[in-house]
Chains A and B, each alone.
Chain A
Amino acid sequence: MKIGKRALLLAAMLATLTMVLAACSSGTSSKDKTATAGAGGAKTPAAGATTAATKAATGAAGSITVKKGDKIKIGISTTLTTDNAELGIPIRDAALLAIKTKGTIKGFGIEGDPQDDGCAGPASVTAANKLIADGVVAVIGPMCSGGAVAALDPLSGANMLTVSASATNPSVTAQGKKNFFRTAWNDATQGAEMAKYAYTTLGKKNVVLVNDQSTYGKGLMDVFKASFTAAGGKVASEEAVTVGEKDFGPTVTKIKGESPDLVVFGGFIAEGAVLVRQLKDAGVTASFMGADGIADQKYIDQSGGAAEGSYVSRGPKPTDTKLYDAFAAAYKAEYKKDAGQFTEQATDATNIVLAAIEKVATVDGSGNLVIDRQKLIDAVAATSYAGASGQIDFDAKGDRKVVGAVNEIDQVKSGKLTRIQ
């Protein structure tokens, strides 16, 4: 009985194994239907042992071929789980809207491929791998700075065009990956501009900084501190809040004890809204200033009125908001919701990518669309695009050049973000 069972099992396993191999060899080719690695790839495989691997990888280098009748896939790496999905879902929606609006490129349909990047390194790498495997032409994202830094490893390995709308930390472009660009503003720019505005325009001299212990929040506050103290201001103390907590009582009490004239916050909506309200509840009279992480109507809504009067830096913006207004109207028409923070950068990022595809894609003899990865990246690097978030030109590192824009500062007036600079 026992021997028989075991023999049966082994036979079954062998049979399955054969099936696996068969399924795989056919599976690989079917999987790479949408996009296959073209010949003449610029990148040489690392070593003999990895040749097979490189061959199976989809479009690791060289060019992407979209077969006739298939759609061009655009990857969207954003946060769909955890509380940060509050920002991540609108980013996805904005990108999908841009894709929908564009409709087709050279007769080929376009579709978005959203993947959850968890706003963190490991999940962003997985999302990147997934998008590479799915044969996307380019990636919009990753959403968060930490995730972007980590995901750039596989993405640059695949020479994948990557444009993030929201990863703002200086470290993201510090690695000098040639395939990466961002329509978000480098915090080095924004933090300095915020500090200048706080010190010079608002005349604040004594501030408390609060960060959410994230790559973004801490990074931004570090830049702010450097610029603010260089200008002659004083940072009374640096505090932190923990993402996921809702009661910052002791931190608020401590801030109150410092009697600052401004509290600056680096972080996202969930914590920012709670913090500003608890400061107000505690009777802290200092002004409150945040940045693009909270630049959203949801920040005001969730603060239950306490956000009134707070300053919100949105990064450099054009003074002319015609294009933004048009985008916001379209977004609202589509989703019945106001366009949130980073959505305009997301739509711009998507449009830049789509325009670049349009420019470099060629239809070959058999009616397939061929897109050369390097040419695509070069096309984006050369972009000069006037979008909803302003004029976009990239520098050598992939950061936005500040042209024709000032750092937008909004103030919450009557429950709305109102531009004051």
Chain B
Amino acid sequence: MKGSGSLSSLRAALDPGRYWSRAGEQLQTTTSGAAVARFGQYAVLPLLAIAGGLGPSYFGIRWTFAILVIVMYALLRSRSGLFGMVVLGAMLVYLPHQMDTFERGIMFDIALYALLGIGLNVVVGYAGLLDLGYVAFFASGAYLYALISAPQFGGGFDVGTSFWIVLPMAMVLAALVGIALGVPVLRLRGDYLAIVTLGFGEIIRIMINNQDGVTNGPVGVFAIPKPHFGSTELSGPVELYFVVLAGCFVAAFAAERIRDSRVGRAWEAIREDEDVASSMGVNTTAYKLMAFAIGAAIGGGGGVIYSAKQSAVFPSDFNLDVSINVLALVIIGGMGNVRGVILGAMLLIGLPEVLRDFSINIAFIHLDNLGADYRLVIFGAALVAVMILRPEGLLPARRRQAQFEPADVLEPEVAT
């Protein structure tokens, strides 16, 4: 009990938002309390910094990334309006030019996963449908582009269709796949839905793996051409990073607009209590399918870009880990919140990679290959730590933050 007490106070110290709101009355009366709270506000930054890869120079770590994470956290958290967004945009556009190949690769991956996260967030965060098979849509998009565009010796059909035509096609295809998945499972709730969608993701991967005639099986599809923009070939990670970044902005904008519309309110009603929503006349079937379709379309688009960037796709690229990663970044970032998704992607996708360089060289301690060997160990521990310290995610959606404010009860409420 004692441990949990100190833990929760630590958590409170690290979470200024909650600290302010919960202990507001108490704090404003005592200046020392306010000082603690203010300290808490900034205490979270070093934590993120370490997570994102910063540290004193005797930790072998990438500075650029660490600073990027911190600045992004500050910007995203402060909701600093237009100016902040402009700064953020400028950073996201400018920084990759200053990065090396590895970091650009990571930036691409982060942006791609942020895009997937925005898509999954529609399903999980907005409509409250737990989907563990999101990779299915990603895979459909990726394979559609791969098969249509790769030459025959690379396992494709060499149809010669341009990236820009396949992109919307893939989104429509994925949306249809999403609806096809949605129809049989609409009656299911919560964790039943989770396992069925997980199974669906696996089925898609297994089918791709075994339908050699169509997909070239485990050998994969390769020599996938890069897209062109005008006469420019978008060949490097930076160019495609911009494509995916643009995709993120469009998707994020669209997702937030939809959330704030009538559709979004219907989703919210379904998420809070499906029976009530249904009795209030919300067509739950249609709205749930719509969430699946929108989420899937974004995933399919992400797949096309992935395929183009990777130049080779394999069934094993689309395993359960992808779904889990996307879900984890949505939750770690703060469910129902696009800003959180971006931050979640930075941590979840960026962290294991920047940890490759992690080493400790303090005095006589020389752990040079610490990151290379133990990065996944550290990563697993970090997942647990972030969740314990910030159970609502790094940047919880405003409404949720209030909703999940814990009561000081001795016995927990039954989670519903």
Partner of A150, one of B75, B109, B314: B314
Give 1 or 0 for each of B223-241: 1 = CB within 8 Å of chain A CB. 1000000001101111100
| B220 and A171 contacting across the interface, CB-CB below 8 Å | yes
Inter-chain contacts of A24 with B (CB < 8 A): 64, 95, 98-99
104-158 of chain A: CB within 8 A of chain B: 114-116, 120-122, 125-126, 129-130, 132-134, 145-146, 149-150, 153-154, 157-158
Residue A25 lies at the interface, judged by CB distance under 8 Å to chain B: yes
| A215 and B219 contacting across the interface, CB-CB below 8 Å | yes
CB distance from B35 to the nearest CB of A (A): 14
| B310 and A46 contacting across the interface, CB-CB below 8 Å | no
| A218 and B219 contacting across the interface, CB-CB below 8 Å | yes
| B314 and A53 contacting across the interface, CB-CB below 8 Å | no
Bound Cα distance A13, B74 (Å): 8
A19 — nearest CB in chain B belongs to which residue?
A: B67
Given A12-B74, A121-B313, A49 contacting B80 (CB threshold 8 A):
no
A119 — nearest CB in chain B belongs to which residue?
A: B316
| B80 and A219 contacting across the interface, CB-CB below 8 Å | no
211-260 of chain B: CB within 8 A of chain A: 217-220, 222-223, 232-233, 235-239
Residue A58 lies at the interface, judged by CB distance under 8 Å to chain B: yes
Inter-chain contacts of A32 with B (CB < 8 A): 100
Give 1 or 0 for each of A8-29: 1 = CB within 8 Å of chain B CB. 0110111011011101110110
Inter-chain contacts of B105 with A (CB < 8 A): 125-126, 129-130, 154
Bound Cα distance A21, B155 (Å): 44
Inter-chain contacts of B222 with A (CB < 8 A): 149-150, 171, 174-175
Residue A302 lies at the interface, judged by CB distance under 8 Å to chain B: no
Inter-chain contacts of B312 with A (CB < 8 A): 121, 146, 149-150, 153
Inter-chain contacts of B375 with A (CB < 8 A): 116
Bound Cα distance A80, B373 (Å): 7
Given A121-B316, A133-B100, A150-B312, A17 contacting B109 (CB threshold 8 A):
no
Inter-chain contacts of B391 with A (CB < 8 A): none
| B232 and A49 contacting across the interface, CB-CB below 8 Å | yes
CB distance from B142 to the nearest CB of A (A): 11
Bound Cα distance A335, B271 (Å): 58
Bound Cα distance A351, B173 (Å): 49
Residue B364 lies at the interface, judged by CB distance under 8 Å to chain A: no
Given A80-B372, A153-B312, A13 contacting B71 (CB threshold 8 A):
yes
| B232 and A47 contacting across the interface, CB-CB below 8 Å | yes
Given A46-B236, A146-B316, A219-B219, A23 contacting B63 (CB threshold 8 A):
yes
| A157 and B238 contacting across the interface, CB-CB below 8 Å | no
Give 1 or 0 for each of B130-173: 1 = CB within 8 Å of chain A CB. 00000000000000000000000111000000000000000000
Inter-chain contacts of B316 with A (CB < 8 A): 120-121, 146, 214-215
Inter-chain contacts of B373 with A (CB < 8 A): 80
Bound Cα distance A145, B312 (Å): 11
Partner of B101, one of A23, A47, A58, A169: A58
Inter-chain contacts of A17 with B (CB < 8 A): 71, 87, 91
| B310 and A122 contacting across the interface, CB-CB below 8 Å | yes
Partner of A129, one of B70, B102, B233: B102
CB distance from B77 to the nearest CB of A (A): 9
Partner of A28, one of B100, B106, B311: B100
Inter-chain contacts of A217 with B (CB < 8 A): 218
Bound Cα distance A9, B73 (Å): 11
304-319 of chain B: CB within 8 A of chain A: 310-314, 316-317
Bound Cα distance A217, B316 (Å): 13
- Residues of A in contact with B, size category: 35 or more
Partner of B235, one of A46, A58, A125, A218: A46
Residue A81 lies at the interface, judged by CB distance under 8 Å to chain B: yes
Bound Cα distance A6, B373 (Å): 41
Given A10-B83, A122-B310, A219 contacting B218 (CB threshold 8 A):
yes
Residue B22 lies at the interface, judged by CB distance under 8 Å to chain A: no
Partner of A122, one of B64, B235, B317: B317
- Residues of B in contact with A, size category: 35 or more
| B67 and A150 contacting across the interface, CB-CB below 8 Å | no
Partner of A158, one of B80, B101, B209, B376: B101
Residue B17 lies at the interface, judged by CB distance under 8 Å to chain A: no
| B67 and A13 contacting across the interface, CB-CB below 8 Å | no
Inter-chain contacts of B55 with A (CB < 8 A): none
Residue A330 lies at the interface, judged by CB distance under 8 Å to chain B: no
Inter-chain contacts of B356 with A (CB < 8 A): 115-116, 130
Residue A57 lies at the interface, judged by CB distance under 8 Å to chain B: yes
A130 — nearest CB in chain B belongs to which residue?
A: B102
A216 — nearest CB in chain B belongs to which residue?
A: B218
CB distance from A266 to the nearest CB of B (A): 10
Inter-chain contacts of A230 with B (CB < 8 A): none
Inter-chain contacts of A56 with B (CB < 8 A): 97-100
Residue B199 lies at the interface, judged by CB distance under 8 Å to chain A: no
CB distance from A292 to the nearest CB of B (A): 17
Partner of A169, one of B83, B219, B376: B219
50-82 of chain A: CB within 8 A of chain B: 50, 52-53, 56-58, 80-81
A172 — nearest CB in chain B belongs to which residue?
A: B222
A135 — nearest CB in chain B belongs to which residue?
A: B100
Bound Cα distance A122, B32 (Å): 50
Partner of B97, one of A20, A53, A115, A130: A53
Residue A213 lies at the interface, judged by CB distance under 8 Å to chain B: yes
CB distance from B51 to the nearest CB of A (A): 17
B91 — nearest CB in chain A belongs to which residue?
A: A17
Bound Cα distance A12, B80 (Å): 13
Inter-chain contacts of B100 with A (CB < 8 A): 28, 31-32, 56-58, 132-133
CB distance from B351 to the nearest CB of A (A): 13
Given A126-B105, A218-B217, A219-B219, A20 contacting B80 (CB threshold 8 A):
no
Given A10-B80, A214-B316, A114 contacting B372 (CB threshold 8 A):
yes
| B310 and A150 contacting across the interface, CB-CB below 8 Å | yes
A31 — nearest CB in chain B belongs to which residue?
A: B100
Inter-chain contacts of A122 with B (CB < 8 A): 109, 310, 317
CB distance from B53 to the nearest CB of A (A): 13
Partner of B314, one of A46, A120, A175: A120
Inter-chain contacts of A50 with B (CB < 8 A): 236, 238-239
345-379 of chain B: CB within 8 A of chain A: 353, 356, 369, 372-373, 375-376
Inter-chain contacts of A14 with B (CB < 8 A): 87
| A132 and B101 contacting across the interface, CB-CB below 8 Å | yes
Given A56-B99, A114-B372, A215 contacting B220 (CB threshold 8 A):
yes
Residue B103 lies at the interface, judged by CB distance under 8 Å to chain A: yes
Bound Cα distance A214, B218 (Å): 5
Bound Cα distance A31, B220 (Å): 35
Partner of A149, one of B68, B98, B153, B220: B220
Given A25-B98, A169-B219, A121 contacting B232 (CB threshold 8 A):
no
Q: Provide 6 A-B residue pairs closer than 8 Å at the C-beta atoms, listed in order of the A residue.
A: A20-B95, A23-B63, A28-B98, A46-B236, A171-B154, A213-B210
Return the 10 tightest CB-CB contacts between A and B, nearest first.
A133-B102, A129-B105, A133-B100, A24-B98, A153-B311, A150-B312, A130-B102, A47-B232, A132-B101, A218-B218
Which A residues form the contact surface with B (CB < 8 A)?
A: 6, 9-10, 12-14, 16-17, 19-21, 23-25, 27-28, 31-32, 46-47, 49-50, 52-53, 56-58, 80-81, 114-116, 120-122, 125-126, 129-130, 132-134, 145-146, 149-150, 153-154, 157-158, 169, 171, 174-175, 213-215, 217-219, 240
Q: A149-B314, A154-B101 are in contact. List 5 more A-B contacts (CB 8 A).
A: A9-B80, A19-B67, A32-B100, A133-B103, A174-B154
